[in-house]
Structure 1
Amino acid sequence: MSGGDFLIVCLGNICRSPVVAEVLRQRFAAAGRSVTVDSCGTGGWHVGHRADARMREAARAAGYELSAHRARQIEVADFQRFERVLGMDQANLRDLAAQCPPALRHRLGLFLPAAGIDDVVEVPDPYYGGPEDFRQVIALAERGADGLLAQLGG
């Protein structure tokens, strides 16, 4: 993996992708890596909304601030702009593949496998869960960020 810019994608862009993006930003910055990281959703019903309050709380407790986040939906231009477009689960990846220009599909992947994590394939959606589900997403985000850094030599 050469590095580059990352777009992290989930369904509504209010739980998983905002926190994964923020974890990546912090971990890359701490390692002295200059990359662009953004997040979005495949669906548009939360566009303009803040991250889910439960995720903001769990993230803050873990040292990540999501208060500036506003949800957005993926746009065709994103596939050109970002070197890696990484979904949280198989449904996200299928939605991305359906929208992505065929010549850019090599940029698509799942976040955890792309980070070299092979014991967990998907980041589960915590939306209908409890506090532990939100903490689990953050733990997976941290594992994934460390895996990507290791691949990038950071």
Structure 2
Amino acid sequence: MVGGMHQRKAEMARHSDCFIALPGGYGTLEELLEVITWAQLGIHEKPVGLLNVDGYYNYLLTFIDKAVDDGFIRPSQRHIFVSAPNAKELVQKLEEYVPVQDGGVAKLNWTVEIEQPPPPPTPASKQVGFPALKKAEIAL
């Protein structure tokens, strides 16, 4: 049992040899981008792979390539993860993976985590919904 999602992911990361994203939804994307970011920050050097079945992740790969072209991602960091259309090819790429060593960020270590209680609610955080958006919808 763990205290939250971040702690659960940190525990899974601690016990894994690599990370593989299968086709999925928001949760899969969130976890994939988190382990890619951890690699970028130097928190781990484990291989990260996308199982790109039937081109499922093609649009994501195109987005990442565009971010590289536009200067938002370093070209060397494009290779933080690998992708393949089938499991056999993906495993081969994961086995051949060499961590990115471009000196872009300092090595970080998350061996100690401190649980802090959430801040007390404030009147603004008790509001539900988006009043401005509702007004805009009514005006349309």
TM-score by length of 1: 0.29
RCO (CA 8 Å, sep 6+): is it higher in 1 or 2? 1
Q: Whose Rg is larger?
A: 2
Name the TM-score, length of structure 2 as normaliser: 0.31
